[in-house]
Structure 1
C-alpha cells in the first residue's frame, strides 16, 4: 500500500534575526505594537488552518524560498517572542503600510515619533565609543582569489593616479626583455621627456616637491647660524702620520700576498695582491675578445680588485656626485690580534645587546675615476687606479652600519670653499651603541689623509639599549632600530637639550631589530623593519599601533631590507634561499623574487634609476635579477643571472690571507620558483642537505652606485677582504 502523501510545507513560524537600530535606541510606537499583535493573531489562525488542511490540497510550486522555515522555529520563537514574521500576514487594504528599515522593523510614521527617533539616535551616537584597536583604516582584496587585471594592479600598486603613472613609466622603460637581469646602457641613457606620465621620473612624487627638497630642503645646512653650530660641533684633530694611523686604525698587513685565480674557466691566470693593492682583472681576459658587444671597451670584462686582507663589514657609495670621480666608503675592522693588545679587551664578554669595548676603527673613502661611455652614462676608467683619499679614524668601537644621506642635494658655491670639497653626510652605528653623523670633506691634492674625529657632526643614544640599524627619512631625520625592539627617530638639527631626545620612541618588535628601511620618497612615513624573532613589519609613523601589517613569520629572520621606489616594494629574502618582494600596498602577500644557490648573506640597497637587484650568498655567488616583469605579470618566467662566483681556500703560506678563485661569464637563465621538491630541477639526494661555507668565501657587502651617470657601477666585498668593483651596464 502506497504511503500517504505528506505536505512539504514546513510547520511552525520562521525565525528572524535582526539588529534593530530602532529597538536599541528605545523607540516603540503604538501602531507598531498593534500591528505586531494583529500579526501574531493572524499567524496563529493561519497555523491552525494549515494543520487541519488535507494533504491532497498541497500543490507543487506554491512553496518558495521566502516561505521555507527552520525546524527549530518554535524554540526560537519561544526564546525571542518579539521577532515574529510579519511578511506572511495579509493586512487589510485600508491599513497603510509604514516604511521599513533594512532590519525589517517599521519606521516611525508621525512627526512626534520622528523627532523622538532623531533625539534617541543622537544620544546613542554620543554614548557609543569605539576603541582605537578596533579601527581599521583600509581593506584590500585577497590576492589568492582570481581577480581581474585592473583589480590586481590596484591591489598591488594602489589606485592613486601617481602610483599608476609611475608604474606605467617603469613598464615602458624597464619591461623589455633585454633588461630582465642587468640594466642596459641604452636604457640608462634614455632622456626624460614631457610625456613621461608627469610622475614617472619622480617615482610618483610631485616634481615640485622633489625640487623643493633638493633646494630649500638643505637651507639649514648652509644657514650661517645652524650650519655654523654643526661645523663647530664636529671637532677634527690634526692629521695623523701615515705609519702611526695604519698601525692603529687599519688591519695589520700580512707579509705574503693574496693569491687570485681569474679568467676563462679552462685557462685561468694567477695574480698576487698585497694590502691596499689594486688589480685590473681585465688582464685575465686579454686573449678573449668580445665578438658582438655594445660595451664601451673591447675587453670582455673590466673592473678593479682591491685587497684589504680582512672581512669587509660594510660599503656605501656617496650620492650626489655627478662628476667623473665617485667615492666609496668602506669599513674593515682591525684583526683579533690587534684587539687583544687593546687596553679594554676582555673587560666584558661580547654581546650585541650591550656596548662593546672602544676598539679603534676607521672609515675609508676610496676614489674611483670614470670616463664617458654614453650620452649620460659613464664607465670605469681603467687607466686611473683607485686611490685611498681619506681615512676617518675613531675610537668608539667597530663600525657596524654606515649609510649616506640619499636625498638629492643641489650643488652650491659653499660646497667647495677653502680648498675643501663636500662629499655628504655619513651616518653610522659604532660598537658603543651610539649613532653618529659625520660631515665628510676632502682636502686638495691626491694624497691620502688620516683624520682623527674627536666629536661628530651629530651624536645620540637611545636609553637603556644600543642601536642596531638605521635609515634616513629626510635631510634632517634618521630612524634607528634598537636592541630591545624599539624604534627611535631623531632630528639632527641643533637643540637646547644636553643630549638629543628622539621625537618618536615606541616598541615595534619584541626583540632585537635587525634591519630598517623607509619607503622614501613615495611614502616616507612608512617604515619596514625586521626583528630577530622572525617578524617583518610595515608600519606608519603616524599611528604604528593600528596602521601596520606583517607577512608570514619566518623561522630565520632576514638581516637586510631595502625599498625600491621603482618597484614600489620592499625586497628581502627568507630561510629557504628565496629572494622575496613585498609591495607596500600588499605587504602581507610576499612574492618570490629569485632562487639562490645558497643562503643569502647580503643585499645591495635598491637603486633609484633601475630595478635590478643584487643578492650575495654564503657560497660566494652574486645573483642579479629584475623582478618587475613578474611583479607586473604574475605568470611571466623568472630570469636571473650570476654576476660571479667566488671561492676561498687557505694558502700554502701561513702568513697570507689565502687564495681566491673567481668564476664568471654566466648567462641569464630561467629559474623555477616552486617551493616544493616536485618543481625543483636540481638532483635530490633523498634528504635535505645544508652546506656550511667558510666565512671568507661569503659575500658580506654589496652596493649599487646611486648616481645616474654611474648607476651601473656595483661593488661586492668578500669575507676574505677582497673588494670587486665593476660596471655591470651591458
Structure 2
C-alpha cells in the first residue's frame, strides 16, 4: 500500500510546477518590421524607460504560468456575467472601462503599465460601449434601423411645417405615377405639371422682376455694345456646322419584327409616326386604321456628328419652342488630336482655335400642349464661333418676364452661358428672327460681352447661381463665382487692359479635376454641389464664404467617396436629394439633410452618360452608353422607402459599323481544326427587311420602342445585377456611336412632357412622352 502511495506522489505535485509537453514555437509574423536589426531601444524616446510588453491572454501556444507575486484570482462573483452589476461599476466613468492596452489620442497621461489579472468588464457595460443600434457612428438617429416613415421624412425634408408640406403635396400629386408624367391632372389632383412647392409664386415673381433690374439698368446696353457679331451666308457658314458629317443616315424603325429601312438626310427631320402607320395589304385596298396606342408624337433629326450637348430654352410661352444643340467630332478637332499626338493635354490645357457652332431648332406646339406634327422643325439660327468646340452650355433658368415684342423686332431667348475648348467661360445674349422669316440665320460671334478665363487652367463645368451670377469649376480643382453686372460695368468704363472678368470668389475645393457643379436651385440656391476626379461629392454653403480666395471648411460637407469620379450630378427639387450614378449602374441619392448617407433608387442596364430632370415634374430620364433611355420616378422612393421600384424604357438605340470584317482565327494553323459553337443560336430571327438592311455596307441605326414597365429588384435577386453571369461580373464595351450622350426635358410648364435625346451618331429624338 505504501508503494502505491509513493507512486502517486509525483503526480500530486503543485499545479504551479506543471509545464506543457508541446514544443514551443514562435508565432507567425505577417508584417515586415522596418526597424528589425537596428539597435533601437524599446522606449518611446532614447532616454526614457522602456514599456513592458504583454502577450495576449488567449494565446494557446503560451505555457500557463502563475506569478507568486500576483494576488490570487478574485472570487467567482466578480467574474459573473449575469445581468446584475454592482453600483460602483455602473457609476464608474467610460475611461475606466477602456482596456489599459488601448492608446488614447491626445491624452497627456503617461502610458500605463500593463498588469495581468485586471477585473473583467461585464456584459452590460460592453453593450453600453457598443451603443444603441438606432444610432449610427456619427451619433445621429438612423431611420433605417427601427425607424418609422415619419422619422425618415423628418430626416429627408426637415422638421418644420414649411419643409414637410411641400413634400406631402408633391407626393400626393405624383406618388401614384410610376415612370412617365401625365398632361393634365385628374379630378382628384393627381398628375399634371407643377413648379416646385418649395419655391412659391411670390418668390418666383420677385426673381422675375427684381432679379433682372441690373439688365434693365444698363446690362442690356452693355450686351448690345460689347457683343459683336457679323452675319454669314449659308455657304460661308458651312465649315462651322458639322464639317465631318455624313450626307445621309439609315434608320431601322417601326413595330417590332415589321421594321422598315428609312433614310434621313443631313439637317432634315422625320415624323416618328410614319414608320408606325399600317401599310395596305394590296394596292387597291385602303390602309387600315392605326391604333391609338401606336401613335407617336415627335420628330427625329439628323445632325451628322456626335451630339455633345442639348438643352431647351426656358421661360418661353406660346407655341414656339426652341432647342439648342451643339455637335463635336468623335475624336478631336485637329489632326494631332485625332492621331493622339497633341503636344498638350486637351482636358487640362486650352486647345487651339477651331470652328464650331450652336444650332437652335424651332418646334411648334399644338393648343393642347403636344407637338404639332403639321409644322416641320426648322433650323432657326446657328451661332458660329472660332473659340474651339463647344463643351457645354446652359441657359439661365431663373424666371423672367420678356416685354411684348413688336412684329419687326427679334425675339429675345435669354442669356446663354457656355464653355469652349479654349477654356474660357462666356455669356451670350441670343435673339431669333420673326417666325415669318423662312430662312436660317447665321451669326459669327467675334467678341462676347462677358468672358472669364481663369489663370493657368481651364473651365470644365458651369451652373447659374442667380440671374446675375454664375459658377464654374476648373481643371485644377478650383471653383469660381463671377458677377455679370460687375464685369459689364468694368468693360463699360473702358478698362480694356483686363478683358477677362474678375471673379468674386475663386477658391480650391478639390485636389484635382472638377467634373460637375450644380446648385440646389430654386429652394436652396446658396447650396453648391460639386464632384471631382477624387471621388468625392461635396456640398458647400456659399453664404459662409470667409474671403475672396477661400471657402469656410465648416461650411463644406463631403459624401462617401466612390472609386471613380461621377460625371452625372443633378439636383432633384421635389425629392430634395442630389442624384448621381455609381459604377454599378445604380441611381444614388444623397439627401440634403443627411449628405453622408446614400440611398439606392434604381438600377440601369449599362453606364449612365446623362441624366435629365425637369423643374415641372419629378420624373428623371437616364441616357445610357448601351443606347437605353430609361425613365423613373425617384420621388416615390424618397417619400416611402419600401415602395416597389419601376423602370420604363423609352427606346433603345443600336448602331452598326459601315464595314464588318470577318474575325481572324488566332492560333489556328493549317492542320488545326477550329471548333464551332453549334449550341449558340440567335434568340431572335431577323426579318427579311433587317437582312436587306444589314447586307448594305452603309452605317445603320436601329430604334426599338414600345417597352412595358418593369419592376426592379436591387438586392438578392437574379436580376439585381444584369452584368453578372455564372458568378462572374463583366462589363460590356459598346460602340461609341451607340451612346445616348445628352438628354433634356422641356422646362416650360405647358409643354413639360417634351423630351429630347441626343445620340452620339448625330441623331436627335424629340417626343412628347406624357400620357
- Bucket of the pairwise TM-score, normalised by the shorter protein: 0.7 to 0.9
State the 1:202 CA deviation: 4.3
Over aligned residue pairs, what C-alpha RMSD do you find? 3.3
Whether the aligned pair in 2 keeps the contact of 1:517 and 1:528 (CA below 8 Å) is yes
Query: Is residue 278–residue 386 contact of structure 1 (8 Å, CA) maintained in 2?
Result: yes
Q: CA deviation at 1:248?
A: 3.9
- State whether structure 2 residue 204 is matched by structure 1 residue 182: no
Aligned to 1:721: 762
Aligned residue for 1:142? 142
Instruction: Report matched runs for 1:249-328 at 5 Å.
Output: 249-255=241-247, 257-287=248-278, 299-328=294-323
Return closer, same or farther for 1:254/1:165 CA change in 2, 3 Å cut-off.
same
- SS class of match (2:273): helix
Matched-pair contact (CA < 8 Å) for 1:613–1:625: yes
C-alpha contact (below 8 Å) 2:297/2:370 kept by paired residues? no
- Alignment partner, residue 539 of structure 1: 540
Q: Which residue of 2 aligns with 1:232?
A: 225
Aligned to 2:202: 208
Whether the 8 Å CA contact 1:558–1:574 is kept in 2: the answer is: yes
- The equivalent position to 1:590 in structure 2, one of 595, 598, 619, is 598
Q: Residue 458 of structure 1: CA displacement?
A: 1.2
Q: Secondary structure at the match of 2:516?
A: strand
CA offset digits 1:248-293 (Å, max 9, x no partner) = 44324434x2110011111001100111111112111112967566
| CA distance 1:289–1:685, shift in 2 (3 Å) | farther
Q: Is the 8 A contact 2:630 2:649 kept in 1?
A: yes
Matches within 5 A, 1:21-32: none
CA distance in 2, matches of 1:360, 1:559: 26
Q: 1:570 to 1:153 in 2, by over 3 A?
A: same
Give the structure 1 partner of residue 324 of structure 2: 329
Q: CA deviation at 1:570?
A: 1.4
**Alignment match, 2:736:** 695
Does the 8 Å CA contact 2:357/2:382 hold for their aligned counterparts?
Answer: yes
CA distance in structure 2 between the partners assigned to 1:678 and 1:418 by the alignment:
59
1:639 and 2:646 correspond = yes
- Return the offset for 1:208: 2.2
Note closer, same or farther for the CA distance 1:338–1:462 as it changes in structure 2 (3 Å cut): closer
The match for 2:360 is 365
| Distance (whole Å) between structure 2 residues aligned to residue 603 and residue 729 of structure 1 | 18
Deviation at 1:351, TM superposition (A): 2.2
Partner Cα distance (1:346, 1:564) in 2: 41
Q: CA deviation at 1:603?
A: 1.3
Q: Which aligned runs of 4 or more in structure 1 are off by greater than 6 angstroms?
A: 67-73, 188-193, 335-338, 653-657, 675-678
CA–CA distance in 2 between the matches of 1:384 and 1:341? 43
CA–CA distance in 2 between the matches of 1:382 and 1:227? 36
The Cα shift of 1:162 comes to 1.9
Offset, 1:528: 0.7
Of 404, 412, 426, 2:403 maps to 412
Structure 1's 247 and 63: CA in aligned 2 closer, same or farther, altered over 3 A? closer
Structure 2 equivalent of residue 461 of structure 1: 453
Residue 468 of structure 2: which of 456, 472, 476 is its match?
476
- Which of these residues, 741, 749, 762, is aligned with residue 708 of structure 1? 749
Matches within 5 A, 1:10-409: 65=87, 140-176=140-176, 179-187=177-185, 202-223=196-217, 225-237=218-230, 239-255=231-247, 257-287=248-278, 299-333=294-328, 339-340=334-335, 348-373=343-368, 378-409=369-400
Aligned counterpart, 1:570: 578
Rounded to whole Å, the distance in 1 between the matches of 2:85 and 2:328 is: 84
Cα contact 1:140–1:155 (8 A) shared by 2: no
1:667 aligned to which of 708, 711, 714: 708
User: Contact 1:202–1:210 at 8 Å: present in 2 too?
Assistant: no
Aligned counterpart in structure 2 of residue 622 of structure 1, from 629, 635, 638: 629
Alignment of 1:651-662 (within 5 A): 651=658, 658-662=699-703
Per-residue deviation, 1:418: 5.0
Tell me the TM-score normalised to structure 1 length.
Answer: 0.75
- 1:585 and 1:69 map into 2 onto residues whose CA distance is 36
1:468 Cα deviation after fit: 0.2
Deviation (angstroms), 1:502 = 1.0
Alpha-carbon shift at residue 183 of structure 1 (Å)? 0.3
The answer to whether structure 1 residue 613 and structure 2 residue 620 are counterparts is yes
Q: For residue 111 of structure 1, what is the aligned residue in structure 2?
A: none
Equivalent pair of 2:428/2:449 in contact (CA under 8 Å): yes
Structure 1 residues 139 and 240, CA gap change in structure 2 (3 angstroms): farther
Task: Specify the SS of the correspondent of 1:187.
Answer: coil
Structure 2 residue 418 is the aligned partner of structure 1 residue 428: yes
| Aligned partners of 1:334 and 1:361 also within 8 Å | no
Structure 1 unmatched ranges of 5 or more: 1-54, 56-61, 81-137, 294-298
For residues 284 and 190 of structure 1, do their structure 2 counterparts lie closer, same or farther at Cα, with a shift above 3 Å needed? farther
Pairwise CA distance, 1:705: 0.4
Structure 2: any 5+ residue segments left out of the alignment? 1-76, 78-83, 101-107, 110-137, 279-287, 545-551, 662-695
User: Following the alignment from structure 1 to structure 2, what is the Cα–Cα distance between the partners of residues 226 and 292?
Assistant: 50
